[in-house]
Amino acid sequence: MNSSLPSLRDVFANDFRIGAAVNPVTIEMQKQLLIDHVNSITAENHMKFEHLQPEEGKFTFQEADRIVDFACSHRMAVRGHTLVWHNQTPDWVFQDGQGHFVSRDVLLERMKCHISTVVRRYKGKIYCWDVINEAVADEGDELLRPSKWRQIIGDDFMEQAFLYAYEADPDALLFYNDYNECFPEKREKIFALVKSLRDKGIPIHGIGMQAHWSLTRPSLDEIRAAIERYASLGVVLHITELDVSMFEFHDRRTDLAVPTNEMIEQQAERYGQIFALFKEYRDVIQSVTFWGIADDHTWLDNFPVQGRKNWPLLFDEQHKPKPAFWRAVSV
C-alpha cells in the first residue's frame, strides 16, 4: 500500500467495519485495494440462490468458497448475501415437473433445504446473513411487493426464512435488507415489517440499509431520520451496499466519458457528509459496506442507462483515491 495513503479500515477502526462487495474476478483484479482497505466482504452475486443451487439438489459452492477463503486468509469478516429474494432465484424452485406452481409445503421444504445447507456450510465463517432481501413494496398501500415466495407460501414466508436461518446457525446475526430505505414512505413500511417480526419473536437482529444513493438524494435529514427510526427498534444497523451515483435515477444523459469537475467535488462533499453522519451513529451502525471498491467495476455501469459509465466509489478506474476518499477519511 502507498505508505502515505490511510487505510479506510484503520481510519474507522473505532467506529465500524469497512466492507466491499466482491466477485471471483474482483478479488484478483482489486486484490490489493481490498487487502489494504477493508475488513469485511460481501459476495456481490455468488451467494444468491441461482448461483448456489441452479438445479434442485445441485449445490455449486466453488465460487462462494473462493470468496470466503479469500476473506479468511486476509482476516476479513463475511456478510452473507442473500438467502431469499424475488430476483435471481431459479424457476425450478417454484415449479413442479409440469411447470405448475408447487404447494406451500413443497416450497417451504425447498426454502428450508436451501437455507439450512448454505448457512450450515459457512457456520463460523459468515457472521451475518441478509435473510430476506427487498420484500417491501416501493409505493402504494401494500406493505409487501408481489413475489412467488409470497404468492405460494403467504405473507409468513419471511418468518419461516428467519426461523430456518436461526436454526441452521443460532450465532449468526440475521438481517432484513432493502433499498430506498431512507425515503419516508418506504422507511415506514420497513419499520412496520421489522417491528411486526420482532413483536412475534422472530429472530431478526438487524436492518441492512443498502444506501444506493446519489449526489443529492436522499437528503441528510432523511438519512438521519431513517437511522434513528430503525435504531428505535433495538436492532443493529449495517450500511450494506453503499455507492454514490453521479446521476439521479431518472437522469438519462449519456454524453459523459468522464465525470465533470463539479460532479467530482459534489461527490466528495457528499461522502464527507455521509461518513460524518455514520460516525455520529457508530453506536448503532456496526458495518459500512461499499457495493464495490473502485470505479473499474460497478453495477451502475449500464444501469439504469445502457451504455453509460458511472463513477460511484472512492477509488477511480486506476485504483487511485478520488477526492471523495480524502473527504471521507478526514471526517
d(CA 255, CA 246): 13
Out of 28, 109, 134, 159, pick the active-site residue.
134
Instruction: Fill in the DSSP letter of residue 123.
Output: T
d(CA 227, CA 238): 10
Q: Which grid cell is 42?
A: 460481501
- The DSSP secondary structure of 150-210, one letter per residue, reads HHHH-TTHHHHHHHHHHHH-TTSEEEEEESSTTSHHHHHHHHHHHHHHHHTT----EEEE-
d(CA 36, CA 248): 31
Is residue 134 annotated as part of the catalytic site, yes or no?
A: yes
Is residue 63 annotated as part of the catalytic site, yes or no?
A: no
Q: Which grid cell is 173?
A: 446475526
Exposure string for 165-183, b = 16+ CB within 10 A, e = fewer: bbebbeebbbbbbbbbbbb
Of 7, 22, 27, residue with least CA distance to 290: 22
d(CA 240, CA 244): 13
Strand ranges in 36-102 using DSSP code E only, listed in sequence order: 40-43, 77-85
Out of 44, 159, 181, 241, pick the active-site residue.
241
* Residues labelled as active-site residues: 134, 241
